[in-house]
Structure 1
């Protein structure tokens, strides 16, 4: 299964609650924090929702 590294590159200040919740559900907390996730349809949808806040790298 493919994996991606997700890094939070923009602050959550002033963002709607649903975007904040999505970032927390991905396991990100502070700016520049990173997590490695398996690519599933659910993760793809979460990344699409917050694509303007994160950087995604294929591993």
Structure 2
């Protein structure tokens, strides 16, 4: 079975004062604090959330 592709996502800008949907996307990716880094699976759903709040994130494919 093939290994799952992962994306490393880091929160670089604060979600404070942003649109509610953008805050939910950040939380949905598992990010809670500034400069926190998480690895999420490369799925269309996660890609959509990353694209929506890309101005707050730094991403790197692992």
Please report the RMSD computed on the Cα atoms of aligned residues, expressed in angstroms: 0.7
The list of structure 1 runs, each at least 4 consecutive aligned residues, that deviate by more than 6 angstroms after superposition, is none
TM-score, structure 2 as length reference: 0.90
**TM (normalized to structure 1)?**
0.94
Structure 2 residue runs without a partner (length 5+): none
Gaps of at least 5 residues in structure 1 are none
Which structure has the bigger radius of gyration? 2
Mapping of 1:1-59 within 5 angstroms?
A: 1-59=4-62
